[in-house]
Structure 1
Amino acid sequence: MDARQILVALIDGGPKEVPAKGINETVAITQHAEVMQVRPWRDRDWHDQHGKAGSLVNDIEEAVSWSGPAVIILFTLGLSDSWLQEDDFTAAAMTPDRVKRYPLDPDPEGQRGIFQEYDLTFDNIDCDFVPYLRECLRKASTNAEGIAWLGFEGSFHYDNLLTDEVADSIYGYCIPDGAPVAIWDDEILKSDRWKHEIAEVRAVLERDFPMPQGD
């Protein structure tokens, strides 16, 4: 059974909140992708051109709504263990129909920082998501005192945070003191330029949330 089949089995009958204990198995399926501090290489005009405000399109729409309603998965890694409240996700004249929060286990290999997940569900996907998600990313990054990012199902594993292999499954991020970024052009997500930018963010992760040094 592959990861997608396992995921379908897990969410059959609707998403369920999962306690932090024992969530590693689910995390490997519900997965994250990561981002962090120091200004990544990017061209604001390029992002504005390809991250236009508008409805979800092509493969991105399929990726976020394959199970029915659109589910936007927002992850954070930071120093704070505080949570955003449901009302905090009302922004840019939009409000999700449902908000679920998932505390995630620490990295079993010792990656420092607190991991959190928010699932924002929208029954209607005919909306201008990009300005909304930029605002959510900004709030989440600030609240976490770290980074926030958007990732498709299956894009997260502790051993594979922000690597080239998952760069095209990361479609938005915000780092401390940085402008939030959201991309809705599937071809851009697959481009070398986007992969390079995510690699820059990965470098920030490694700098600000390093693995502990061995003895």
Structure 2
Amino acid sequence: MDDDGGAAMPRWIDLALTIIMALAAVGTAWAGFQSAKWSGFQAIAFADAGAARTESAKASTDAGQDRLTDTVAYTSWLEALQREIVAGTSPRPQGDYAPNPDEVSGFLYERFRPEFKPAFDAWIATHPLIDPAAPATPFDMPEYVLESDARAAELVSRAEAFTQEAHEFNQRSDNYVFMAVILALALFFAGVAGRARTRRSQHFLAIASAVVFVGAAVVLLALPKTF
């Protein structure tokens, strides 16, 4: 039979374990609170990411409709100008274009969308009607920029940022859950130490409980916090 069998635990160790158990219980509650808060932030971030993606899809649809409108307007203008040139009502191209409001081509030109007209004018300045090296269409010009396209790209970037933020919040929540498990381990060691039959076991479990608790407390203090 072990000489230490049935030895009573020293009072200072018992007091230390009681303090550790109390603080570990508080730490576990704190970890649970923080985990719930970060999980809430994660849900909000994912919702924001979904909303941004929805808005991005709408902006992309608007860009497609604007591009289609510009394409139809351009092809209609080109067909009208060709008919006018053949009919002799519009002058043959000499490297530039002067819209005639009395002709269909001029009527269409005046009704180009504001985003399309600068690209069209820049394209005309390259003398595309006589210069085969000029860009094929106004849509090849750097001036052709759709605000809805830019907005769609911005919203996609925002959605990706929200998603990344949500993953970070999720990791913080997981970290707090893990620390709650570690604190539960410290509670377990402290509880078992009081029931150990030998002084050696008591000391070992008390030290294990203290080491685990201190390590968990240090990590808890270092983790990001929210209120």
Which category of TM-score, normalised to the shorter sequence, fits these structures?
A: under 0.3
Q: Normalised by the size of structure 2, how large is the TM-score?
A: 0.18
**Between Structure 1 and Structure 2, whose CA radius of gyration is higher?**
2
Q: Normalised by the size of structure 1, how large is the TM-score?
A: 0.19
Structure with the largest fraction of strand = 1
Structure with the largest fraction of helix = 2
